[in-house]
Amino acid sequence: MDNVGIVAFLHAIFLLMRATPAAVWLLFALCVFAATAGAADDARPPEARYDTSGQATRDGIGKRYFGREIARFMGHQGAGWLERPEREQEERTDLLLKELALRSGEHVADIGAGSGYFSWRMAKIVGETGRVYATDIQQEMLDILMRQMRKHGAEKIVQPILGTVRDCGLPVASVDTIILVDVYHELDFPYEMARSMIAALKPGGRLVLVEYRGEDPAVPIKPLHKMTAAQVKKEMAVHPVTFERNIATLPRQHILVFRKNAP
């Protein structure tokens, strides 16, 4: 466009703006805002999403997300507690595995797998045609985990992945189900992790968050290591997933199932 053309174009816009009622322009501005709001949220720097102005409490990192203080993550020294023999009875981990209803051949990610308590048990269900990606941010945990996998003959099905605090480390659209058992509340960057996990799900895939019930004072777990169902749903509402159900059969934990939205 030459100079004359540009002037004519600007003049036409000026005439249009003069002739169009202000309400139409306001509506137009609102539409543009609504269309770009999601992208703007993604572009926000982490410090805008998290509140780091408060003090850290005993079990927390002093960083708050949707009003919840994020818990300090469990060090690899706690692996023995994850493997305690009474765990199955206390938490009915057998029932949790049944409720997941995994299929043979399914590709599953055990995020924050720790010592691999669930990894080898899930490997037995998905079988040799399936795959369990076991991720953690501590190499020491993954070393313990692989020893456990060899002990239970699951080393060919379970693949260890060293993730980062922001990225689960899985390829895009690679898994049918992602499960986090007692992990979400201690993610340093829950927003970024949720985004990366949802990207790793195939369309229609499941994201399952298992958390000690924050609503129940009888659950003998430190408050920052528990979550209410309402809080989890609030935090997931900013992501492209739909809440499907809360399976309430376990003695201490919620099983909150979300499904990835169609693109």
Ligand X SMILES: C[S@@+](CC[C@H](N)C(=O)[O-])C[C@H]1O[C@@H](n2cnc3c(N)ncnc32)[C@H](O)[C@@H]1O
Contact residues for ligand X, defined by CB under 6 A = 73-74, 82, 111-114, 117-118, 135-138, 141, 163, 165, 181-183, 186-187, 193
Residue number, 182 or 235, with CB nearest to ligand X: 182
Cβ distance to ligand X smaller for residue 122 or 181 = 181
Q: Which residues pair with 243 in a beta bridge?
A: 258
C-beta of residue 122 within 8 angstroms of C-beta of residue 102? yes
Whether 175 and 200 have beta carbons less than 8 Å apart is answered as yes
Rounded to a whole number of angstroms, the minimum distance from the CB of residue 3 to ligand X is 56
User: Is 69:62 a contact under the CB 8 Å cutoff?
Assistant: yes
| CB contact set of 221 (below 8 Å; sequence gap of 6+) | 212, 252
Crossing angle for the helix pair 117-126 and 139-151, to the nearest 10 degrees: 50
How near is the Cβ of 181 to ligand X at its closest, in Å? 4
Residue (114 or 214) nearer to ligand X, CB:
114
Q: What tokens does 169 get? A: 């480390």
Which residues share a beta bridge with 227? 213
Q: Please report how close the Cβ of residue 81 comes to ligand X at its closest, in angstroms.
A: 8
Which CB sits closer to ligand X, 140 or 244? 140
- Min. distance of Cβ 220 from ligand X in angstroms? 15
By beta-carbon proximity to ligand X, the closer residue of 157 and 224 is 224
Of 205, 170, 154, 179, which Cα lies nearest the Cα of 100?
179
Taking the complex as a whole, the smallest distance from the CB of residue 254 to ligand X amounts, in Å, to: 14
